[in-house]
Homo-oligomer: A and B are copies of this chain.
Amino acid sequence: MDIATIIGLILGAALVLMAILLGGSIGAYVDMPSMMIVIGGASAATMAAYPLARYLQLPSVIMKTIFTKATNPVELVKQLVELAEIARRDGILALENAVETIEDEFLIRGIQMAVDGSDPEVIESIMETELENLMERHTAGKGLLDAYGRYAPAFGMIGTLIGLVAMLSNMDDPSAIGAGMAAALLTTLYGAMLANMMFLPLADKLALRSDEEVLIKTIIIQGVMSIQAGDNPRNVQSKLMTFVPPNQRIVEDDREAA
């Protein structure tokens, strides 16, 4: 879980609430139909743009964005070096037992193929294909959040235009103009809030998570190939450490950093 995302989402909401309360009562800012047109409209447009099964993944995409625990690349390199030591000392078949201590599904599958004696090119090609397809799925998940981030402000504008036309067609009572205009602006406000306080930051976050996961899987592929080739564990370490930011190469207990 990443505490920053939760703090960011709550902090944004708190600041907006503060700004509203300072300006007056919260009542002027809550309007059910305005919320429906923005949230419902953005949902309708996104739904029209995505197959149903993928649209229904939206909650799990959001949850994953917020709660996924990042793998520490330094820990991973250590683990791969240990596996390289076992393979070099006791033969590659000895990794059969070591597999049980591994958590990462992708690494297990790579080691399993190495133990089974698959051809190095075959292992690399299968793992690369898996990585490419993972990247495409991440792009699709990010697309879902981006779509909300684009359509929410658009429906905010549509709502405001509907409100302005209503107000302008009916200006008999000048004292109602201000209130009508305020109500019309609410949907633009909702659209801007939904996009900038939720969907766009989460889409950015998912892209970063994806980059991290690609880095982790790239390290694993390089590691498995080195282990199968019987490389010297020290060489494995220096090769894999190039993927880790220099400052983390020394301070190895800073686990949240990426």
Contacts and interface: CB of A to CB of B under 8 A. Distances in A.
A18 B44 contact: no
A258 B53 contact: yes
A86 interface: no
Contact of A243 (B4, B133, B151, B185): B133
A245 B3 CA distance: 28
Interface string A145-183: 001001100110111011111111111000100110110
Nearest to A127: B242
A188 B188 CA distance: 15
Contacts of A7: 44, 47-48, 52
A16 to B, nearest CB: 7
Q: How many copies does the complex hold?
A: 5
Interface of A: 2-5, 7-9, 11-12, 15-16, 18-20, 22-24, 28-29, 33, 36-37, 40-41, 43-55, 70, 105, 122, 125-126, 129-130, 133, 136-137, 140, 143, 147, 150-151, 154-155, 157-159, 161-171, 175, 178-179, 181-182, 185-186, 188-189, 192-193, 195-197, 200-202, 204-205, 208, 211, 215, 235, 238-239, 242-246, 254, 256-258
What are the nearest 9 A-B pairs in CB distance? A8-B48, A23-B166, A8-B47, A49-B204, A4-B52, A12-B44, A168-B182, A53-B257, A48-B201
